Structure formats: structure tokens, C-alpha cells
Amino acid sequence: MAAIYETAYPRIKPHLSNRELKEIFTPTKNELLLLKDSTKKTNDVSRVAFMILLKGYQYLGRPINVNKIGEPIKKHIAKKLDVLPEIDLGKYPKSSRKRHIKIIRIHLEINWLHSSSERNIIYEAIA
């Protein structure tokens, strides 16, 4: 039987190797530039949460709850951003999360149907 993280609705493995952690959750130069353009340098909570959202979205193909991310991932990303690893992501505002998800979707070129007219066109085409 497949592990839950290998199913159609994947999840992050509970125990990542150091190699997996580095390969999957280390920000690239371009991602660091996106972070710089999308968050305030002085807001460490938003910076770490943004990067967790981005890397989680890349890995799973969907937004994740940053408060439920494992400590090793949070600490790895915080260290890469020169932020204290004990940061409290519970202070991450929902309004920032929504804005960050929009930015990440644009960056990853993920198109969503936002207007009802766009949805109606799709519904009519498949009916």
C-alpha cells in the first residue's frame, strides 16, 4: 500500500532526509528576488511564511498551511533567510497569506478561473 505522501493528494513526508530538505526547500536566487519584491525585509514572519508557501506549492501543487509545516522545514528555510528558527508563524496574517498566494500563482504561472463568466464558459463547454 502506498504511503499517504505518495497518493493522488500528496502530503509532505513526515521525515525528510537532509538531501531532500536541501533539494526541495532551499530557495533559489530567483525565489529570493521574488521574496525581496513581495515582502518587507523587516517582517521575518511574512518572509519565512512566504517562502514556505512557495516551496510547499512547488512540491505539492497547492497552497499549504504554514502553521502545520514540520519544524525541520521551517528551521531550514529560516536559516536560509537569516531568520531565527524559533519564529512564531502563528502571527502570519490571513490577509498576507491571500496576497502571497496570488503572487506565487503568478510566479508559478498557475491560472485560476476568477470570474463567474469564465466558470460559466467552462461549465457550458463540458456540459
Give pLDDT, residue 48: 98
Separation between Cα atoms, residue 23 and residue 20, nearest integer Å: 5
How much helix, strand and coil, in percent to the nearest 5, is found in the chain?
Answer: 60, 0, 40
The ranges of the chain with pLDDT < 50 are none
Give pLDDT, residue 9: 72
User: Which residue range forms the structural domain that includes residue 38?
Assistant: 4-126
Give pLDDT, residue 115: 63
Query: What total number of domains does the chain contain?
Result: 1
Give pLDDT, residue 79: 97
With b meaning 16 or more CB within 10 Å and e meaning fewer, what string describes 38-56?
Answer: bbeeeebbbbbbbbbbbbb
Give pLDDT, residue 71: 94
